[in-house]
Amino acid sequence: YKQPHRALTTCIVVQLLVRSRIPSQASCPRMSFAQPKTVIEEGDTVILYLTVTNVYAIEAVPQIRNKKNEMIEYVFQTNFGALKVKDIIGVPYGSKVELSKGWAHVLQPNPELWTQTLPHRTQIL
């Protein structure tokens, strides 16, 4: 058994202390790989799984601000139609949701799905 590096342990403790002092969790997207949930709550990060190549991470909030700084209904556009994000709040994770021209699955984030949603850029080595 090897002891963890002291700087790494200190870094983790500092991160936990900083997170506990955040006044409002509503402004921060909530995502936990360690504590699974069963139902989507407002403010959660949700994986919208359409196909193997179409996987998106969205925040489950009913309204967002547009460019004019006005609050509007959050409608996420996909290849299979539009999704009114307010409709997925309260739905169990893993459910099949209807889009205007098809359907998708709403999944809880895990490390594998999260990396699939990140943009992949071409890199020259």
Residue 54 lies inside a defined structural domain of this protein: yes
Residue 91 lies inside a defined structural domain of this protein: yes
pLDDT (tens digit, 9 = 90+) per residue, 9-49?
Answer: 444 444 444 444 444 444 455 566 667 889 999 999 999 99
Residue 110 lies inside a defined structural domain of this protein: yes
The whole-angstrom separation of Cα 7 and Cα 110 is 27
The whole-angstrom separation of Cα 11 and Cα 14 is 5
Residue 47 lies inside a defined structural domain of this protein: yes
Residue 70 lies inside a defined structural domain of this protein: yes
Residue 16 lies inside a defined structural domain of this protein: no
Strands annotated E in 26-125 = 45-49, 55-59, 63-65, 71-73, 75-78, 81-84, 96-99, 102-107
Residue 9 lies inside a defined structural domain of this protein: no
Domain that holds residue 39: 27-117
Residue 125 lies inside a defined structural domain of this protein: no
CATH number at residue 73: 3.10.330.20
Looking at every residue in the chain, the average pLDDT score rounds to: 79
Task: Tally the domains of the chain.
Answer: 1
Look at residue 8 and tell me whether its pLDDT is greater than 70. no
Percent of the chain with pLDDT over 70: 73
pLDDT of residue 123: 77
Look at residue 71 and tell me whether its pLDDT is greater than 60. yes
pLDDT of residue 119: 82
The whole-angstrom separation of Cα 5 and Cα 47 is 34
